[in-house]
Amino acid sequence: MNWELVTIGVFVVVGMIEYVKGFAPNANPQIWRFVIVPAAFVAAAVGQVATLQPIWPGVLSNGLVILSASQLGYQVVVEAVKRRLGGSA
């Protein structure tokens, strides 16, 4: 398990989803639950290639951890900050 890659992957996935949400403000909120899955595995694959590590074992393990941590990170951090600032989550 590459924890540095996982940490970077979580920030990339959550940040990119928030960025893309800016272009589709009226989109169904449930769509982001589906977008986060491929985003997590793409982030893991890019991280594996960038660090010159074998792709498949790392993509599966790191991708699953990035996926779960991104979901938790989004719910805990992003939604909490939006609530405190008075925006909608």
Enclosing domain of residue 15:
3-85
Q: What angle do CA 41, 59, 57 make, to 5 degrees?
A: 160
Interatomic CA distance for residues 55 and 63, integer angstroms: 11
Q: pLDDT tens digits for 13-37?
A: 999 998 998 999 899 989 988 999 9
Contact 47, 12 (CB under 8 A): no
Alpha helices in 22-78 (DSSP H): 31-50, 55-73
Distance of CA 42 to the CA centre of its chain: 10
User: How much of the chain exceeds pLDDT 70, in percent?
Assistant: 97
Per-residue pLDDT of the chain (89 residues; tens, 9 = 90+): 889 999 999 999 999 998 998 999 899 989 988 999 999 999 999 999 998 888 888 899 999 999 999 988 777 877 777 788 876 55
Provide the domain count of the chain.
Answer: 1
Interatomic CA distance for residues 16 and 13, integer angstroms: 5
What pTM value is reported for the model? Answer: 0.81
